[in-house]
C-alpha cells in the first residue's frame, strides 16, 4: 500500500469541497466524523448538500466511534493504479453508530485471506505520502 515516491506516482488524494471538507478535515485530526442533519439527525455519507431525509441545509459533522462491520470486500489482485500494489483489500463498512452509513475503505493490518463479511473493524488513519491522513479500517 505504501507509495514509493522515487518510482511510483503519488496515491490519489481526496478533493475536498465545501460539502465534503468536514469529513476530510476531521480525518486530518485522526477523527472519523460523519455528516449529520442538525434537524432530523440523519447520517449521510458521502456528504450531501441537502439532508436526504428532510432536505434541511442545517448540516454538520459528528464524531462517531469508528467501529463497524464489513458489508462486503474484494481482494484486489490486479494493478489498477500504479500507486497501489496488489494484493490489497477494498471494502464497504457499515458503521455501528451512524445508521444507514456505508463507506469505502481498505482493510489494513490484516491477511487479505482472513477478511470476512460481518467482521468487526475499527478505524485507523493512514498517511498517504505527504502527511494527508485518510480513514482506514483494521480488525477490531
Residues of the shown chain interacting with Zn ion in the complex, contacts defined by CB under 5 A: 37, 39-40, 42, 51, 53-54, 56
Select from 51, 95, 106, 121 the one that contacts other proteins (CB under 8 A): 106
Alpha-carbon distances of 51 from 64, 66, 81, 103, 113, rounded to whole Å = 18, 22, 34, 17, 38
Interacting positions 17-46 with other proteins (CB under 8 A): 17, 19-20, 45-46
Q: What residue 13 binds from Zn ion, other proteins, none (CB within 5 to 8 A, per partner kind)?
A: other proteins
3-state secondary structure of 84: coil
For the record, the C-alpha cell of 28 comes out as: 486530518
From Zn ion, other proteins, none, interface partner of 78 (C-beta below 5 to 8 A by class): other proteins
What torsion, rounded to 10 degrees, do the Cα atoms 67, 72, 75, 79 define? -100
Q: Measuring CA to CA, how many Å separate 31 from each of 6, 28, 87, 126?
A: 30, 7, 27, 12
Which residues in 55-94 contact other proteins (CB under 8 A)? 71-81, 83-84, 88, 90-92
Q: How far is the CB of 110 from other proteins (least distance, A)?
A: 14
What, of Zn ion, other proteins, none, does residue 11 touch, CB below 5 to 8 Å by kind? other proteins
Cα–Cα distance between 105 and 103 in angstroms, integer? 7
Least distance in Å: CB of 68 to Zn ion? Answer: 22
Question: What distance in Å separates the CA atoms of residue 1 and residue 100, rounded to the nearest whole number?
Answer: 29
Which residues sit at the interface with other proteins, rule CB under 8 A? 11-15, 17, 19-20, 45-47, 52, 71-81, 83-84, 88, 90-92, 102-106, 117, 128, 134
Amino acid at each position: 500500500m505504501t507509495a514509493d515516491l522515487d518510482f511510483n506516482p503519488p496515491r490519489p488524494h481526496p478533493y475536498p469541497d465545501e460539502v465534503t471538507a468536514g469529513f476530510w478535515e476531521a480525518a486530518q485530526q485522526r477523527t472519523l466524523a460523519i455528516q449529520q442533519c442538525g434537524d432530523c439527525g440523519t447520517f449521510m455519507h458521502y456528504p450531501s448538500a441537502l439532508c436526504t431525509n428532510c432536505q434541511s441545509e442545517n448540516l454538520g459533522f459528528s464524531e462517531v466511534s469508528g467501529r463497524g462491520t464489513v458489508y462486503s470486500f474484494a481482494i484486489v489482485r490486479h494493478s489498477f493504479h500504479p500507486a497501489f500494489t496488489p494484493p490489497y483489500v477494498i471494502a464497504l463498512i457499515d458503521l455501528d453508530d451512524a445508521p444507514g452509513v456505508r463507506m469505502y475503505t481498505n482493510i489494513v493490518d490484516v491477511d487479505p485471506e482472513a477478511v470476512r463479511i460481518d467482521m468487526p473493524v475499527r478505524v485507523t488513519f493512514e498517511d498517504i505520502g505527504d502527511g494527508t491522513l485518510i480513514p482506514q479500517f483494521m480488525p477490531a
